[in-house]
A and B are shown apart, each in its own frame.
Chain A
Amino acid sequence: MAALKAARRLDPPRLRIIGLAVLMSAVWIGMGFRLFTVQVVHAAEYTQQGIDQRVREEKLQPTRGRILDRNGDPLALSIDGVTLYAVPQELDDPVWVAQQVAILTGANVDRLRSGLADAIADGTGFVYLARQLDPEVAQAVIDADIGGVYSVKEPKRMYPTGQVGAQVVGVADIDGNGLEGLERVYDDVLVGTAGRLLYERGARGGPNIPQGPVEKIPAIPGDDLVTTIDTPLQFAATEACQKAVDTTGAASCWVVAYQPETGEILALTGVPSYDPVARTVVGGGTFSNAVVREQYEPGSTQKLITLAAALETGAVDLDTVIGNVGDKIEINEGACRSDDDDIRGCFGDSEKHETRDMTVQEIFTRSSNVGTIKIASLLPEGAIDLYMQRFGYGRPTGVDFNGEASGQISVDPSCSTCLASAAIGYSVAVTPLQLAAAYGAVANDGVWVEPHLVSDVGGDRVDVESKQVISENTARVLRILLEKVVEEGTGTEAQVSGYTVGGKTGTSSKLLPDGTYADDDNIASFVGMAPIDDPKVVVAVVLDSPDFSLRFGGLAAAPVFSEVMQTALQRMGVTPDAVPG
């Protein structure tokens, strides 16, 4: 009976049911196990994989801050360019792709072809085809829908004033890193902070999934810089310089216009220069800025400092008569006997004249080297050195421009000729900006003000240093002397119609590598100010190697000064003070 029961229990249908139940149970257990593995054991890993598949992260590029001139006109600004890139592995025919992109963008086909070939050979997954294109140009490629070619927006730096503003603004590289000038000095404030965008995207790069999780950290744009530069004046100065280079055959011409009361640089330019958009030099120029970096022996423009020291120390006054001022003076005995010997210390004037007594005023107006050396000999020991330092020589002015030269002061007490040299602008090296700032102190009643190019960073005013370097009275007396130079001395070409002008010419022989001075290679300069009673603008002009017949500062540099000063006074709205009766 029991056997019958067991047989009945294990009959085929029942067996099948049991087998099915076991199988189902196993399946459920397996599924449960798998579920547990997926949902619990590897939950974090799979969650991350899922996020990685559908969530994209995009870096939000900040817009680089603008660089504006004092009138609010942009000298540099960024626009959105479009960069085209390729994933070489996705290209069916790289040669065809290179040809198509070259036709549509004007890029060099050989460069594209070799770029793609190199990327394929290296197994690189990304290669630039063309960067920072105009959106319309790039759109033609995007519309062509070439497989494996993609686009991305990328900021492009533009310089609307081109070469005119280049010497101040400088240049940033293609990735938006400041390389030169204000672009470099203020790179950290211009660059801004990158943002981040996280969003869900459909498979194969489909559209963004609306309502999907989105995290956006907006990019913070860079701060704008407001410079002290007046673009029309900068342009006029560049044009005047170019004209001077053309007419005098000079290798280069450099100009700086400076407001003595505020230290604001209104124009700082020169030729030859460079094109900041193409990032190429023009006309044999360099990327360097000579006004800030090139130091040279100032020649007679230095006599203002010598005289300032003489007046301040009470060694002379305007009417002091210096006796026996000839056209040559020997510091060391026999120095003027022959040019061929090794005896140094013969100084002379540029033109021969008879020996006579001269007042200090006459010596300065006629730019007598001999007379100035005689005045310097009346100074207490170390006075010239001290006043050069007070006027900012031998150290950077602190202008907000990279790579500023400090100049050189080398009045060595053991050097018998150095004092005489320094008095007339040799054995001393300055930058055009140092000289302009020194003359600025005379213009500003004896107060030296740190020159600067940026007045406002992101809405914050920039503070500048100032200090009294000579007395107000000495500054006034020096201005009278400077006015005489332009009225009746060596600087008559610097006159500006309608204004009283004061200034000083400078002509210095260039130092040769062997330590001697060139006979036929000079630096011509002029530094001056107007209106002379209360100067509002100081302009310094330096020409390197003008034609020998035009080597004098009064001939080569003074006309440039006159043009620049006239424009500067008009641009600043300075009332004429020398109206003919």
Chain B
Amino acid sequence: MTARPLRSAQPVRTGFRVVGGRSSRRPNVGPFVAFTIVVVASMLGIVLARTSLDAGAFELADIGRRIAEEQERSQLLQLEVAELSSPTRIGPLAEELGLVYPEERQVLFVEGLDDTPDLMVESDAGVAMGGQP
């Protein structure tokens, strides 16, 4: 028989030692966080900008609609003014109220002025005044 040394059943503990893990260093997450922040901020910025632009566009569309409405209103008012000031409306109305056309043109001479009709001034009422200053 050959003698051979007995294998030790228990490893000999030689005291505490540092056991290495997967990585002995802490992961450097700074750039990732920064990148993420930049991306998220950019996305938020884009969303905000887009929202703001859209809000502006809606506002613009609303203003455009209001302009169109006001133009429409202006057209209607122009028509109303034209119809109200038309002689076809005023003539019969004036007649109803007792206004009449002058029988004939009347010429008035201003007292103290020469009779020579060098100066003729026409009034709105269809009356002409004559004389020389």
Contacts and interface: CB of A to CB of B under 8 A. Distances in A.
A427 interface: no
Nearest to B58: A210
Interface stretch (B6-14, B17-25, B38-46, B75-83): B75-83
Contact of B72 (A79, A232, A239, A576): A79
A231 B57 contact: no
Given A579-B107, A579-B117, A160 B82 contact: yes
Contacts of A164: 86-88
A511 interface: no
A515 B68 CA distance: 63
Interface in A443-476: none
Contact of A161 (B54, B88, B106): B88
A575 B122 CA distance: 7
21 contacts: A73-B82, A77-B75, A79-B72, A79-B79, A80-B71, A80-B75, A160-B79, A160-B83, A163-B88, A164-B86, A164-B88, A211-B54, A231-B87, A235-B91, A499-B105, A566-B105, A570-B126, A575-B122, A576-B117, A579-B117, A580-B107
A77 B88 contact: no
Contacts of B115: 581
B86 A158 contact: no
B78 A77 contact: yes
A256 interface: no
B113 interface: no
B122 A570 contact: yes
Given A74-B82, A160-B86, A576-B105, A135 B61 contact: no
Interface residues of A, number: 34
A79 B76 contact: yes
Contacts of A497: 104-107
A205 interface: no
B6 to A, nearest CB: 40
Interface in A156-189: 158, 160-164
B129 to A, nearest CB: 10
Interface in B75-110: 75-76, 78-79, 82-83, 85-88, 91, 104-107
Contacts of A50: none
A497 B53 CA distance: 73
B120 interface: yes
B54 A232 contact: no
A496 B105 contact: yes
Contacts of A77: 75, 78-79, 82
Given A210-B54, A231-B87, 8 more contacts: A235-B88, A496-B105, A499-B105, A570-B105, A570-B122, A575-B120, A576-B117, A576-B128
Contacts of B88: 161-164, 235
B85 A73 contact: yes
A32 interface: no
A580 B50 CA distance: 84
Contacts of A499: 105
A410 interface: no
B7 to A, nearest CB: 36
Contacts of A163: 88
A573 B122 CA distance: 7
Interface residues of B, number: 30
Interface string A562-581: 00001000100101110111
Nearest to B120: A575
Interface string B49-75: 010011001100100000000011001
A262 interface: no
A129 to B, nearest CB: 21
B14 to A, nearest CB: 45
Interface string B108-133: 00000001010010100010101000
A332 to B, nearest CB: 48
B87 A576 contact: no
Nearest to A232: B87
Interface in A231-265: 231-232, 235-236, 239
Interface string A468-504: 0000000000000000000000000000111100000
A246 B76 CA distance: 36
Given A73-B82, A77-B82, A576-B120, A161 B87 contact: yes
A74 B83 CA distance: 9
A231 B61 CA distance: 41
Nearest to B131: A579
Contacts of A579: 107, 117, 120, 128, 130
Contacts of B53: 210-211
A235 B78 contact: no
A158 B82 CA distance: 10
A577 B119 CA distance: 11
Interface in A532-581: 566, 570, 573, 575-577, 579-581
Nearest to B85: A73
B86 A231 contact: yes
Contact of B128 (A161, A236, A498, A581): A498
The 9 closest A-B pairs by CB, nearest first: A210-B57, A160-B82, A235-B87, A497-B104, A498-B105, A497-B105, A575-B120, A79-B75, A579-B117
A359 interface: no
Contacts of A566: 105
A80 B73 CA distance: 9
Given A573-B122, A576-B130, A78 B91 contact: no
Contacts of A61: none
Given A235-B91, A575-B122, A210 B72 contact: no
A176 to B, nearest CB: 15
Contacts of B120: 575-576, 579
